[in-house]
Chains A and B, each alone.
Chain A
Amino acid sequence: MKADDPRIHWIAEPKLGLAGSMYLPLVVGGLVTTAKHLLSPKVTVSYPDQEPEIANRSIYRGVHRLNRDGQGRVKCVACFLCATACPAHCIDIVGAESPWPDREKYPESFTIDELRCIYCGMCEEACPVDAIELTSLYNLTGRSREEMVFDKEKLLSVYDATHKQEPMRSAAHKGAP
């Protein structure tokens, strides 16, 4: 493309007034802006001393949990929809014949590799019974890779730890299985 190409849209430089060509407004303006920010409240969260404020816990995508139904059983029906939806292939389910009369299958084992997970929330969207949910726990740490592979018991314990402050999203229709 050459300089005289008709597709180039040339913009004229704005005309400077007397004050502008004396550089004063810009020089003073720049300093005023800096000085204002120097004294303004800081946005940094001093993390270990101060917990960040999570605006809406119900849409935050942190550590997963497996929800329990009204009788304290795992809600999951081992349909594998979450494992199929998962783009990182971090969910591993072993399904088995359900010991309860209200459903056919239940997960014998349910593991999520929290290190592989990209916290996209697709599993939560895919789940037909709202069994898997992402909580607002953001500071997940571990000392080994094995420790970061969460099994069913651990995922249920996350539910036990968080269901008070983060009620199940399907709590409105609790009657459903």
Chain B
Amino acid sequence: MSLLLVPLVKIAIILFGVMTAAAYFVLLERRVAAWVQDRRGPNRVGIPGTNIRLFGLGQPLADGLKMILKEEYTPAHVDRGLYLLAPLVMMSAALAVFAVIPCGSTLPPIPALGLQEPIAMLVAPSFDVGMIYVFALSSIAVYGVILGGWASNSKYSFLGGLRSSAQLIAYELPLGLGLLGVVLATGSLRLDAIVAEQANTGVWFALSQPLGMLIFMISAFAEAARLPFDLPECEQELVGGYHTEYAGMKLVVFLTAEFIHMITASFLISILFLGGWHFWGLTGNAETPITWTLAAIRVGVLFAKVFAVIFFFMMVRWSWPRFRYDQLLALAWKVLLPLGLLNLVVLAILIEVQHPQVAGGWLDERFGAGRAVVSWLPGWLLLVLAFMLVAWLRPIMTDNRPRTDVDLLDSPLQE
């Protein structure tokens, strides 16, 4: 009974939580956008029928109601089956990712309900391929975008779909390479195991693998199609990109799925690199016996980190201009991919050297308590080195306007 019931309750909580969070993050996004532009943002809608405004917290409800009441228009020129399928694919892929994302550590057992074991705060607790599952689903989400762009039978949508397919495929690779360092250091693909490793050593992977984090973060921005990588739907060029032809609830499903991608990316960054629910001296490590207070603190810490990362996402949106398309792909293939490989190789060597069985524990003997610092240092040196390398190997000519210093008419290419 509880075997079925517990996951169902978890799924219900996650679905409700994620959808509500997405709605409220839309409000936060609008408020942050307004604040950055010296405006106030939507702060009027509070409790309906009263004058209580609550800083605009009623706005998501009003937005949702508005979108539900919009006409559900399907243009005549679309491929109807794929047109309807696209938002569903994208939404279900975006939501299904949360099956392996832990929203905290564990809850203590509740004997009154017949639950004798600690309850893991994720839907699929012993799913060993966790990160591969996340990657598989994020690739399926690309299909939603491409299908939407193709089925709309419109040039803007088509261009948006094409752009996103090239972009998302290009950035999956550095995303995976940034992650591989973490997997290598942990020895597991399970997200809860990755958090447990960081909690037990007390060294977040952001501290020991800064280059990996940078690569993962940039790729996560691109995967979520956020500015400065929002080429698939840049309003100035493509109207709405792949969802130009969508209206009403189908559009809402697309937009919500995109927001959920951002939330997923924030969860992944927090869990993989920022220690998940761990905070020094506050949450204990993975062996600490769990109590209700501790569980609440851990959830609080994790959500605070996720919130901070999402806020950073929103700030970045207004900080940097959008990439040109060739620059976008050049960044993925010519910069992030080689740096990701470099990161992986260096980390593999480092981890091998630090392994007590291989190096005979000489690191422990020589440095003792200072070992933590010694294990960070190469990561940061690598980050600096990578930056210098990029600066040094930067093409001298980034200008793609026609050359005036070369006389094309006299060149042998003309013959």
Contact = CB atoms under 8 A, between A and B. Distances in A.
Interface of A: 3-4, 10, 13, 16, 18, 21-24, 26-27, 30-31, 33-35, 37-38, 40-44, 46
Contact of B387 (A13, A16, A22, A44): A22
Contact of B391 (A21, A31, A42, A46): A21
Given A13-B399, A43-B38, A46-B40, A38 B315 contact: yes
Contacts, number: 53
Interface residues of B, number: 24
B398 interface: yes
B259 to A, nearest CB: 20
B304 to A, nearest CB: 19
Contact of A31 (B32, B39, B319, B401): B319
Contact of B319 (A4, A34, A46): A34
Contacts of B390: 21-23
A42 B32 CA distance: 12
5 contacts: A4-B404, A21-B394, A34-B36, A37-B37, A38-B315
Given A13-B399, A18-B391, A33 B38 contact: no
Contacts of A38: 32, 35-36, 315
Closest 10 pairs (CB-CB, A-B): A30-B319, A21-B391, A3-B402, A22-B391, A34-B319, A44-B40, A21-B394, A30-B320, A22-B387, A44-B39
Interface in B369-415: 387-388, 390-392, 394, 398-399, 401-402, 404
A33 B36 CA distance: 9
A42 B404 contact: no
Nearest to B404: A10
Interface in B227-276: none
B320 to A, nearest CB: 5
A33 B319 contact: yes
A27 B319 CA distance: 8
Given A4-B404, A13-B398, A13-B399, A42 B39 contact: yes
Contact of A37 (B36, B316, B402): B36
A13 B398 CA distance: 9
Contacts of B315: 31, 34-35, 38
Contacts of A4: 404
A43 B399 contact: no
A37 B404 contact: no
Contacts of B401: 3
Interface string B31-67: 0101111111000000000000000000000000000
A3 B404 CA distance: 7
B318 interface: yes
B45 to A, nearest CB: 14
Nearest to A45: B40
B320 A42 contact: no
B318 A34 contact: yes
Contact of A27 (B320, B398, B404): B320
A10 B402 CA distance: 10
Nearest to A16: B394
A3 B390 CA distance: 31
A42 B399 CA distance: 39
A107 B36 CA distance: 54
A42 B38 contact: yes
A9 to B, nearest CB: 11
A108 B394 CA distance: 81
Given A21-B391, A22-B388, A38-B32, A31 B38 contact: no
A115 B394 CA distance: 61
A46 B38 CA distance: 13
Nearest to A28: B319
Contacts of B37: 37
Contacts of A18: 391
Nearest to A46: B40
Given A34-B319, A37-B37, A38-B315, 7 more contacts: A13-B398, A22-B388, A27-B320, A33-B319, A34-B318, A37-B36, A42-B39
Given A3-B402, A22-B388, A42 B319 contact: no
A42 B35 contact: yes
Nearest to B38: A43
Contacts of B38: 37, 40-44
A44 B42 CA distance: 12
A124 B44 CA distance: 39
B326 to A, nearest CB: 16
A13 B37 CA distance: 30
B49 to A, nearest CB: 18
Contacts of A23: 390
Contact of A42 (B40, B318, B398): B40
